[in-house]
Structure 1
Amino acid sequence: MLSSELTQLLQPIQQFLGCETPDAWLSMAGQPEHLPVLLQDHLICELKAAQSAMYLIRRYAIDESSAEALLLWLKPFEDFTYRQQGDWRDLAGLSLKKSMLPKASSAYAQELIDKMLLLIKEELHHFYQVLEVMAENNIAYTKITSSRYARGLLRYVRTYEPQAMVDKLICGAFIEARSCERFAKLAPLLPKRIADFYISLLRSEARHYQDYLALATQIAAEDISARIAFFRQIEAELILAPDSDFKFHSGMPSAA
C-alpha cells in the first residue's frame, strides 16, 4: 500500500502516460521464476539511463576533456555489464573526478549538465543497489538481450537539430515515467526487501521524468505538446502490443 504522498506523486505520471501497465504483464512479473530476468534487465536499464544522459551531455553541453572524464566514470560499469570484467563490489562509490566545463556557445549547457549529472549519479547508485538485491537473492548476473522498448521509441527521433535533441529528451521522459509507474505496480507483488527498494526509487524516477520534460520545453522554445502526444501514442503501443520477450519494459505477454 503506497502512502498518500507517493500516490499523489504518481498522479501526474499516470496522466502523462497513455496507458497503464497491463495486468497480464504484472501477473507474469510477479511470478518467482521471472525475478532473475526482471532484476537483470532492471540492472541494464539503470546503466542505459546513465549512458543516455551521458550522451546528451557529451553531445550538446561539454568540452572534449570533460567528455573524456565522463567516459572514464562509466567505463567500470560498462566493463562489468558488457564484458563481465571486475567485481561488482568494486563499483561502490565510484565518482566523477573532474568538473564539467560547459560549451560557451550553448545557452542551456549548464542546466543540462546539472540535471543530467545528478541523474547519472543516481542511476549508477541504483545500478549498484540492484546488484546488492541480486546477491541477496542468489541471482548471478548474466548477459541478456535488450528489449524492443527504447529502440521502439528512439526510431522516431527526428534527424535534425534542435528537434533531435528535443525528441530524445521527450523519449527519456517517457522511459523514466514508465519505470516509475512499473516500480509502483510491481512493489505489492514482490518480496518485501525488493518491494521496499522499488518504492524507494519512486521519487528520483518521478523527478527524472520532470527534468527531461523541462529541458525539452526549454530547448525547443516552442509548444511541444503535439510531439509529446505523438510519443505518448508510440509508447502506449509498445506497452500494449503483444511481446514474446519478457523484460522490465516489455509489452503484453504474447501468451495472454
Structure 2
Amino acid sequence: MSIQELLTPILSFLKCETPQAWLDEAVKKENLDIILIDHLICELKAAQSAMFLIRKYAVDKESANALLAWLEPFETFIYKREGDWRELPAKNKLSKTVIPKSNAKYGQDLIDKMVVLIKEELHHFYQVLEIMDEYGVEYKSITPCRYAKGMLRNVKTFEPDAMVDKLIVGAYIEARSCERFAKLAPHVDKRLGDFYISLLRSEARHYQDYLTLAQEISGQDIAERVQFFGEVEAKLILSDDQDFKFHSGVPA
C-alpha cells in the first residue's frame, strides 16, 4: 500500500494538518535531540496506555502483574536510567498467557489488540534508541508536553464512558503521530526518513483498533465523542505553544 493510501483515512479522521510552523521548527538540526527523545517517550507512553487499559478493564491480578513485569525493564531505563538499552529486545515478551477476567465481556478482544500494540510500541522504542545511538543523541529527562494532558482532561469520569473516551483519545494520538511521521520524512536525512515511513506503515492501523474497541465497548454511536475529541485535538495542534515537542502546537 502506498504512503498516500495509508495517509488518506488518517487525514480524513484528523480535523487539521500539522502547521508549517511546527514542521519548520522540527527539521532544525538543533531540535533533533528533543524530537527523538520525546518520540522515544511517546512510544513508551503508548505501551503504558495500552497496558493500563488491559490491566484496569480486562484481566485478573496475576495477569496484571505479568503485564507489569513485561514493561518494567523499559520503564526502569527511562525513569531510573538503569540497564543496557541493547538488552531490551530480549525483554519484549510476556512471561505468561494473559487471561481475561470472567466478567469482562470484551476482555479477549481488548487483550488481543492491545498486546500486539504494546509489542510494536516497545519494538519502536528500541528502534528509536538505536537511531539516537547512531546520531549521538543521549537520553535525558524532559518535561511532558501539554498535548496528551489537554486531551485526557476532557475524559468522562464514569464507566464505560471513561474507557470509551480514553480509547478515542488513543486513536487521535496514534493518528497524529502517523501524520507527523509523514510530514517529517521528506525533510530529514534518508536514514531517519526511511525510519519514519516504516513507523507510519506499521502504526497506521492503530488508531482504527482504538476506535473499533471504543465502538464495541460503548454499544452506542460514538460519532459525537469522536467529533468532540477531534476538535479538542485540533485546537491543541493549531494554537500557540511555548513548549516544542513531537506533539506540540504552533511554536510560540
Instruction: Note whether the superposition's TM-score is higher than 0.5.
Output: yes
Instruction: Give the equivalent residue in structure 2 for 1:99.
Output: 97
Residue 247 of structure 2 is aligned to residue 249 of structure 1: yes
The letter for the 2-side match of 1:213 is L
Measured after TM superposition, the shift of residue 164 of structure 1 is: 0.3
Residue 41 of structure 2 is aligned to residue 44 of structure 1: yes
Measured after TM superposition, the shift of residue 86 of structure 1 is: 1.0
Q: Give the number of aligned pairs.
A: 251
Q: 2:197 aligns with which of 187, 196, 199?
A: 199
Instruction: Give the equivalent residue in structure 2 for 1:162.
Output: 160
Cα deviation 1:155-206 (Å, max 9, x = unaligned): 0000000000000000000000000000001001111101100000112221
Gapped regions of structure 1 (runs ≥ 5): none
Cα deviation 1:192-226 (Å, max 9, x = unaligned): 10110000011222111010000001001111100
Residue 74 of structure 2 is aligned to residue 77 of structure 1: yes
Instruction: Give the equivalent residue in structure 1 for 2:169.
Output: 171
Secondary structure of the residue that 1:98 maps to in structure 2? coil
Q: Percent of aligned pairs with the same residue? A: 63
The letter for the 1-side match of 2:104 is S
Measured after TM superposition, the shift of residue 129 of structure 1 is: 0.1
Alignment of 1:1-256 (within 5 A): 5-94=2-91, 95-254=93-252
Distance, in Å, in 2 between the alignment partners of 1:240 and 1:84 is: 34
Distance, in Å, in 2 between the alignment partners of 1:82 and 1:61 is: 26
The letter for the 2-side match of 1:104 is S
| TM-score for the superposition, normalised by structure 1 | 0.97
Distance, in Å, in 1 between the alignment partners of 2:202 and 2:223 is: 24
The letter for the 2-side match of 1:195 is G
Secondary structure of the residue that 2:205 maps to in structure 1? helix
After TM superposition, the structure 1 stretch with the greater mean CA deviation from structure 2, 231-240 or 98-107, is 98-107
Secondary structure of the residue that 2:204 maps to in structure 1? helix
Measured after TM superposition, the shift of residue 244 of structure 1 is: 1.1
Measured after TM superposition, the shift of residue 77 of structure 1 is: 0.5
Cα deviation 1:84-142 (Å, max 9, x = unaligned): 11111111221111100001111110000000000000000000000000000011111
| TM-score for the superposition, normalised by structure 2 | 0.98
Secondary structure of the residue that 1:158 maps to in structure 2? coil
Distance, in Å, in 1 between the alignment partners of 2:210 and 2:180 is: 18
Distance, in Å, in 2 between the alignment partners of 1:234 and 1:205 is: 22
Distance, in Å, in 2 between the alignment partners of 1:204 and 1:112 is: 19
Secondary structure of the residue that 2:2 maps to in structure 1? helix
Measured after TM superposition, the shift of residue 60 of structure 1 is: 0.4
The letter for the 2-side match of 1:151 is K
